Chains A and B, each alone.
Chain A
Amino acid sequence: MDVFSSLMDGFATALTPMNFLYAVIGVVLGTAVGVLPGLGPAMTVALLLPVTYVLEPTSAFIMFAGIYYGGMYGGSTTSILLNTPGESSSVVTAIEGNKMAKAGRAAQALATAAIGSFVAGTIGTALLAVCAPIVVKFAVSLGSPSYFAIMVLALLAVTAVLGSSRLRGFASLGLGLAIGLVGMDSVTGQARLTFGQPLLSDGLDIVVVAVAIFAVGEALWVAAHLRRTPLHIIPVGQPWMGKEDWKRSWKPWLRGTVLGFPFGALPAGGAEIPTFLSYVTEKRLTKHPEEFGKGAIEGVAGPEAANNAAAAGTLTPMLALGLPTNATAAVMLAAFTSYGIQPGPQLFESEGPLVWALIASLFIGNFLLLVINLPLAPLWAKLLQLPRPYLYAGILFFATLGAYSVNLQAFDLVILLVLGALGFMMRRFGLPVLPLILGVILGPRVEGQLRKTLQLSAGDPAGLWSEPIAVGIYVIVAIILAWPLLLKAWRRSRPQAEPAFAGMPATSEADPDRTDAGGANPHPFDDRDLDTTRNTAAGRQERP
């Protein structure tokens, strides 16, 4: 009953006219950036971080949550109508969704995506409301060593499991940790990486870093690839579903939810893996296997449900442990810090009303999204006719304004440009952005836990594995790191086992990373991945 009454209090806060207005702004903005390939909720929240200086925390987070959920909805529209995923998490939706649209069933595809997202989002949010307090109860008993271990696991998992190249992942993580180190040492007061520049001694402001990497980097990248043959959007009327479509959709929705939520909640979750898994599952379980590849509604319903459930799942570790597992959650965590709110297990205790209002606003946002997406999908598609120079000029303007408004010093603009150039180079050379932003945001907190642990054990490194949970997590870390080697050894010992891979060195190279997270048969899933990322403009994008 405790959860229920807290949630009702949350609804009371979230439904005040002002907060409701911010929820509406959030979902509209979120859908818009979701529809536009290249713009994601992470960039949008980063650009809006400066508003946290004037907004009440509750209102700000209600808006951010709306943007986050809205991004998940909007991505599917572009996937289905244009075959260009608006978000990395709707890459799979494009496979069947676009085929359906080409076969004249765009309305049904959009409807099953929107309703499936609503169902999965609502169930996922309910699971979040139930699970998060349980995780908190468990987490408050953890000491610094365990907490440090969990954070290390999260950083490594995101770096090593997601993305195609471990080396690039670690390079990106290293860059992020280095940026996080700049400034005064919290314990000894020594200046680190400041190069004698007094303006750097406070460290780099996270707003400036996030805006530079997400907004400036992306704008430069798009500017470098501005001209391209225009695509044609498939015209569509009002989304609707027939009886047969409902019958074929509801099971994939529920299965997608079941797959999506836990993967979102895991430190290396993200929304991509469960969408792929859901697609593969539906393909195997369907009663209409002949339709797969030609526009099967199950192939849209499952993955779309999975990515929204994963979005809800991601918020569980973010709120309960202060552990972000994707870029948007990371930037939201930065917003907590900029309000002086300490993220972590104590968040539910110290900021209870805020957290419950946030969760309640997720339910509201989900409902609003269904309302604005179902009738307005064709209108959203019109956004794609916007000339991109105007769009990105606007983004650069707000990025600059935001970065300057943080400290009102011109030096921040220099940092913005330098890091923006870094963001551009990372996109150019295929470095994932997520490990960097997690490194910047989690790095100082990881260091804090490490220093605390070592202070408690009087400098003895044995203090790091003094708790059983910490030991268990280090074992998992070791397995993740050693996994490619183990797999290689296993393959060598059974050379006849997988003859299909002999001729495909590139595929088998990327395989170990996926198998670990996927758990299921990785091969069809991996092929699918390579298939779709080839024609994906936004595939290389930040994880929303």
Chain B
Amino acid sequence: MIEIKDLHKSYKMGSNSLHVLKGINFKVEEGELVAIMGSSGSGKSTLLNILGMLDGADSGEYTLDGVPIKNLSETKAAQYRNKFLGFIFQSFNLINYKSALENVALPLYYQKVPRKERQEKAMQYLEKVGLKPWAHHLPSELSGGQKQRVAIARAMAAEPKVLLADEPTGALDSKTSYEVMDLIQQINDEGNTILVVTHEEDIAHMCKRIVHLKDGVIVEDKKIEQVKAAQYV
């Protein structure tokens, strides 16, 4: 599903340049649930941004579902993001003046799905994350866990190839974190490919594979025994 070869990325900070990713090679198969771990500054967020086409790599190859991702125009990148990827952010990033339903329907709007169909589909996904009764509430009326579940529904609404989660539990208490992870596991069990960036050990162990990043290189890549989040809920 995802294939990365010798990926490099550096940032210019005034006169010196900061080499963040120093040759990353890895592959993700369909249906995997991968945790990308590392301390801050290890380059894990940068990697996720490149995977999410929010940022471009300096060199190296990136193939997503057989499509080479290179030198994309902003317009093309936006279309690919919409088609291939679903984003889940640490700070939820819901649009605060739109109801939960409208937030979930937004990626479908950019896919030019007709309004009615869009609403129905969005409602389905809200139901899936257990928030159907909250469909017409604004984000400010929802708890943190609920907001993240809306965000997950939004990420899934466009039926992307890969879900990218950047510290999805970073802003949540542990009980809510486990609830969110339970949801992510359920979605993965349905066959969706998910990448989770985290620095929390327990969250990482709820995935099926852990990739350890340190100083811009992969130091460890291992399959693990998945801990089911449901038992903590």
A-B complex is real: no
A interface residues, Cβ below 8 angstroms from B: none
B interface residues, Cβ below 8 angstroms from A: none
